[in-house]
Amino acid sequence: MNNIKDIILKLKNYYLSGKTKDINFRIDNLKKLKRLIKENEEIILDALKKDLGKSNFEGYITEIGMVYEEINIMIKNIKKWSKKEKVKSSINYYPSKCYVYKEPYGVALIIGPFNYPFQLILSPLIGAIGAGNCAVIKPSEYSVNTSMLIEELINNNFNEEYIKVVNPMGGKEVVSELLEQPVDYIFFTGSVRVGKIVMEKASRYLIPVTLELGGKSPCIVDKDANIKMSAKRIAWGKFLNAGQTCVAPDYLYVHEDVKVKFLEELVKEIEEQLGKKQKESPDYPRIISEREVRRLSEYLNEGEVFYGGEVSIEEKYISPTILVNIGKKAKILEEEIFGPIFPVYEFNNLEEVVSKVNNGDKPLALYYFSEDKNKIEYVLNNTSSGGVTINDTVIHVASTYLPFGGVGNSGIGSYHGKASFDTFSHRKSVLKRGTFMELPFRFAPYNDKLKLIKKILK
């Protein structure tokens, strides 16, 4: 473990050399990263398939393609984003000029999850590089093939004093040791439980954090929704990556007037997209581990299986499953599912659904399907969540022009596009004064100067 201390020390010394602050240095390393990915696309896709059973298409659009977009927008805008901003100066301190400088934090620790093991490591790394930081990276030990590949690509091609991947197969003891180090920023993606531990550890050194967590993201289908289109988009978003997506619809409220029709369409869409025998579909991924399959399979006893329910622990497989008539004390009501099991409830009053959503922890995402603009605005204005997609699912996460992050229990901070640059940058306030004159009223003796101050500051 002493090796980790040495790694952090080397990274800190490299940062203090000032090399990472050079804009061309940052751009060159972003271009190098993109070139490495381009040269190894097939190997990356193969690793994702081995870890999670992802098809090449899903692996590309949800992992590699998103990383390319992040690199491209960072390279295109980095010079503009990194410029100092001139802001107004107060007459009280005339003559003066005020600026906001974009300053790197230093050494950023990036801890990634297993579900999107490539994208959720590389996307924050792009922000760290773009803002001028050094980085130490801990990929998930569960996504073995992808994490080992990331270690190989980064450690063999970047200066280890600049960016370093540490022990991808190490478990919580490695993460614990990393969290004992006085790094300058921590970016964590994972569970709420571990996120709280990360924040507690960071508080020892008052290290700023971004926590990309999760929670129970609600999906609501109202009676005036386009039922066929809603079913298509919900089926895709829920069963993408076999439900192992932090912003996947966790549970569904469907209006009682359209419940039967919607469930019929949802089943049709599952079979249209993944076939009637989903286990044989090349487009349907697998659960990350046998332990996770066992955990998820326990939920099947908490309601009536309307569709699916097939489980194979050895093959790390759970079929797309719809649950209805869930018990009132079911664990599935409280716990984030993070798998291909979809509990469905009916409603007849939108205000009651909104109230139920608000009585729980603030979710990472919320999805509402309706053609009524007034009801859409009602939901937007009366709920709090990290993000919202109206009449679709998940895709707000893919926009490099929207900051992505949680609120409350679902996370702290945001990233993607400019938000990534801002996340890894300290906005340093700078006031520059001239010396050719001075307004004397702020210096003692004060005498009757308070009257003048009250006239100015009122």
Distance (Å, rounded) from C-alpha 302 to C-alpha 284? 24
Distance (Å, rounded) from C-alpha 29 to C-alpha 44? 19
From 63, 151, 212, 336, active-site residue = 212
- Token pair for residue 235? 């089926």
Smallest CA-to-CA distance from 423 within 140, 184, 192, 151 is with 184
Per the CB < 8 A criterion, the answer to whether 406 and 249 are in contact is no
From 58, 70, 134, 246, active-site residue = 246
Distance (Å, rounded) from C-alpha 310 to C-alpha 232? 22
Q: Which amino acid is at 230?
A: S
Distance (Å, rounded) from C-alpha 39 to C-alpha 57? 17
b/e burial code for range 436-457 (CB count within 10 A of at least 16 → b): eeeeeeeeeeeeeeeeeeeeee
- Please state the φ and ψ torsions of residue 392, each to the nearest 5 degrees: -165, 180
- Please state the φ and ψ torsions of residue 287, each to the nearest 5 degrees: -75, 150
- Token pair for residue 339? 């798998």
Distance (Å, rounded) from C-alpha 96 to C-alpha 432? 5
Q: Is 85 a known active-site residue?
A: no
Which residues, 6 or more positions from 99, have their beta carbon under 8 angstroms from its beta carbon? Answer: 84, 85, 86, 87, 429, 430, 431, 432
Q: CA torsion sign, 328 to 331 to 337 to 342?
A: negative
Q: Is 134 a known active-site residue?
A: no
Quickly list DSSP for 74-106. HHHHHHHHHSPEEE---GGG-SEEEEEEEEE-S
Alpha helices in 276-315 (DSSP H): 290-297
Quickly list DSSP for 144-157. HHHHHHHHHHHHTT
What amino acid positions are annotated as catalytic residues? 212, 246
